[in-house]
Chains A and B, each alone.
Chain A
Amino acid sequence: MMNREGRPTTPKVSGEFARDTFTGNKGLQAEEALIFELGSIDQCGVDFDDFDDQPDGNLGELARSAPIGLPGLSEPEVMRHYVRLSKMNYSIDAGIYPLGSCTMKHNPRLNEKLARLPGFAALHPLQPEQTVQGALELMETLSHWLMEITGMPGVTLSPKAGAHGELCGMIAIKAALEARGEGARSVIVVPESAHGTNPATAALLGYKVRSVASGDDGLMSVEAVKAALDDDVAGIMLTNPNTCGLFEPEIVEIAEAVHKAGAYFYCDGANLNAIAGRVRPGDLGIDAMHINLHKTFSTPHGGGGPGSGPVVFSEALAPFAPYPAVKRDGDILRLDEGHGAQGLKADAFGRLTAFHGQMGMFVRALSYMLSHGIDGIRQASEDAVLNANYMRVRLRDVLNQPFGDKICMHEVLFDDSSLKDSDASTLDVAKALIDEGFHPMTVYFPLVAHGAMLIEPTESESRATLDQFIDTLRDICERASGDGAAELQAAPIHTPRRRLDETLAARKPVLRWVGDEREALAAE
């Protein structure tokens, strides 16, 4: 019997329709409401087995009486909600993410598998030591790798993020000065180009910040540093390579000058990806440096966290490293938690966090280090620097480097002077890149470059991707002059949301669901 149900299989040419859809969805891109608009306090996506319920046990008048207002949803509804939300996010897995100083490299899934081994994931930090020897061994191994790569004799794994690591390093400096009877030193020297966490950390500890300008070449000169040093200076905080993507050639002399003045050298390790395996920061004369495991060592950025910021120390500062510390006692590993009787770390400045640090990130980082090996780590740094310089030479005729065209490290800095005759700004260029399917580079940082664009491709990008990004950016820059600017100012148009009103968000903060605030916002 013949199947007579024919239907056309070649699309006919048809018209374009600009009507909004009924749902607001656009094909695979869905609009998604809040859980408070979708769920209710009676729904639940978790089943419990029956149990002998005792009314309120011994909670008495402390038992909760009023409803909380938390919405629940069934499991399929929850899955759909978060899958739809996820589709509104860009990610490294989807494309290049050239954010300067963020090191958005590939996040290997092997790391995820190993972090989830029950022998790590289901381990409590306060179990008896003999039941966690494998975890302590992992921490010891990671510590060893960090010290070898950086060439520093001391380390702590406990800081929870880079900024927390900065705090750790700076407290160690303060503790060391106090131990020397020089706790009265009250000034920290910080370059103008420093990341905001640097002066914020110094201020938290009661230090005054003395700012030093870099030269016209974007570099910190030892003369400028010497001019800022005196008996009142406790330390200097420098990033190397610096936030303009340049290696500080006078860094060894700077370290000598700092030590001669009786101060200490804190190095912000955010840009370690440029030099790991080729240069050891310890050889430069630094005293403390935090390492962002979520930058250099591939632990995932997770939409903003969690990070992990171990700190390495020089001989001078190592005794002051905080609790806890993993110590080897023959075949056994111990955790020194700072209790006097054990006496292993008498000068430790104290404790920075409950428990031992971001173990989940330690497993991931060590897996990455073992996978690459030190030869791979060195190769990764070389490829990172290669990629940034490739971008530099292919963009230097359309974008201006504020400190002149010269070799950069793992990131290249441009300013907006090539846009000065255009109505388009750095921001407009960034938004236009979004329409082209890229996450933009870092914009408006560092402050020393006007309308800064800081591009860090990382070693994870292929030449084809780099070429596509470069060609797109060139096209945008070309369009920026003349009539093209208006189009850039309207970008992005292809994203789930157009540009958002950040002024309204800050003038009338709505930070949580209260039921009818949507009406209130509409009335604005």
Chain B
Amino acid sequence: MSIYYTKDHEYIRVEGDLGVVGISNYAQEQLGDIVYVELPDVGKAFELGDEAAVVESVKAASEIYSPISGEVVETNEDLNDNPALVNETPEDGAWFIKLKISDNDELEKLMSADEYSAYVEGLA
């Protein structure tokens, strides 16, 4: 299982031909208390960089962009009742969508966990 990150702080965890997408710990810290997550419909197809979801905190709203191209096969219904999960377990329990990856080559454009850590440190 491998995990990749984008400059916009999305992660994608590859499990077979599926990519599990969410936001990083850094992102949830920046946003503050998450109050709502707007998820796409199952079956929706995204190109790399399309707006896939919206995360709302009390004072801010942030678009979440799809890190790769693919089709939504599942969305995390737990987030409807408990958006706080995004703050508590952003990289495990609080995944947003599962995408069927259409082009594995796109993963090469993303950062590894180490590269992302270095990137985040540079932002501080």
B33: nearest residue on chain A (CB-CB)? A503
B interface residues, how many (CB within 8 angstroms): 8
Measured CA separation A507–B59 after assembly (Å): 13
Q: How far is the CB of A487 from chain B (nearest CB, A)?
A: 23
Measured CA separation A507–B33 after assembly (Å): 9
Q: Which residues of B contact A502 (CB under 8 A)?
A: 58
> Could you give, for residues 496-514 of chain A, a 1 whenever the CB lies within 8 Å of some chain B CB and a 0 otherwise?
0000001101110000000
With an 8 A cutoff between CB atoms, is B70 at the interface?
A: no
Q: Which residues of A contact B83 (CB under 8 A)?
A: 507
Q: Chain B: interface secondary structure?
A: loop
> Could you give, for residues 40-67 of chain B, a 1 whenever the CB lies within 8 Å of some chain A CB and a 0 otherwise?
0000000000000000101100000000
Measured CA separation A86–B36 after assembly (Å): 33
Q: How far is the CB of B42 from chain A (nearest CB, A)?
A: 24
Q: Which residues of A contact B58 (CB under 8 A)?
A: 502-503, 505-506
Most buried by A among B33, B56, B83: B33
With an 8 A cutoff between CB atoms, is B84 at the interface?
A: yes
With an 8 A cutoff between CB atoms, is B35 at the interface?
A: yes
Q: Which residues of B contact A503 (CB under 8 A)?
A: 33, 35, 58
Q: Which residues of B contact A507 (CB under 8 A)?
A: 33, 35-36, 83-84
Q: Which residues of A contact B36 (CB under 8 A)?
A: 506-507
Q: Chain A: interface secondary structure?
A: helix
Q: Which residues of A contact B35 (CB under 8 A)?
A: 503, 506-507
Measured CA separation A502–B56 after assembly (Å): 13
Q: Which residues of B contact A506 (CB under 8 A)?
A: 33, 35-36, 56, 58
Q: How far is the CB of B36 from chain A (nearest CB, A)?
A: 7
Measured CA separation A503–B35 after assembly (Å): 7
Most buried by A among B35, B36, B56: B35
Measured CA separation A444–B58 after assembly (Å): 14
B56: nearest residue on chain A (CB-CB)? A506
Measured CA separation A41–B62 after assembly (Å): 45
B32: nearest residue on chain A (CB-CB)? A503
Q: How far is the CB of B18 from chain A (nearest CB, A)?
A: 29
Q: How far is the CB of B108 from chain A (nearest CB, A)?
A: 31
Q: Which residues of A contact B56 (CB under 8 A)?
A: 506
Q: How far is the CB of B58 from chain A (nearest CB, A)?
A: 5
Measured CA separation A507–B82 after assembly (Å): 8
Q: How far is the CB of B88 from chain A (nearest CB, A)?
A: 13
Measured CA separation A506–B58 after assembly (Å): 7
Q: Which residues of A contact B33 (CB under 8 A)?
A: 503, 506-507
Q: Which residues of B contact A444 (CB under 8 A)?
A: 59
Q: How far is the CB of A10 from chain B (nearest CB, A)?
A: 52
Measured CA separation A493–B36 after assembly (Å): 30
A502: nearest residue on chain B (CB-CB)? B58
Cβ < 8 Å to B, chain A residues 472-524:
502-503, 505-507
Q: How far is the CB of A208 from chain B (nearest CB, A)?
A: 14
B82: nearest residue on chain A (CB-CB)? A507
Measured CA separation A505–B33 after assembly (Å): 11
Q: How far is the CB of B72 from chain A (nearest CB, A)?
A: 24
Q: How far is the CB of A349 from chain B (nearest CB, A)?
A: 31
Q: Which residues of B contact A505 (CB under 8 A)?
A: 58
> Could you give, for residues 63-87 of chain A, a 1 whenever the CB lies within 8 Å of some chain B CB and a 0 otherwise?
0000000000000000000000000
> Could you give, for residues 70-84 of chain B, a 1 whenever the CB lies within 8 Å of some chain A CB and a 0 otherwise?
000000000000011
Q: How far is the CB of A330 from chain B (nearest CB, A)?
A: 56
Cβ < 8 Å to B, chain A residues 392-434:
none
> Could you give, for residues 114-143 of chain A, a 1 whenever the CB lies within 8 Å of some chain B CB and a 0 otherwise?
000000000000000000000000000000
Question: Which residue numbers of A lie inside 8 Å of B, CB to CB?
Answer: 444, 502-503, 505-507
Question: Which residue numbers of B lie inside 8 Å of A, CB to CB?
Answer: 33, 35-36, 56, 58-59, 83-84
Q: A444-B59, A506-B56 are in contact. List 12 more A-B contacts (CB 8 A).
A: A502-B58, A503-B33, A503-B35, A503-B58, A505-B58, A506-B35, A506-B36, A506-B58, A507-B35, A507-B36, A507-B83, A507-B84
9 A/B residue pairs, CB under 8 Å, sorted by A:
A502-B58, A503-B35, A503-B58, A505-B58, A506-B36, A506-B58, A507-B33, A507-B36, A507-B84
Q: Which 6 A-B pairs have the closest CB atoms?
A: A506-B35, A503-B33, A502-B58, A507-B35, A506-B58, A503-B58
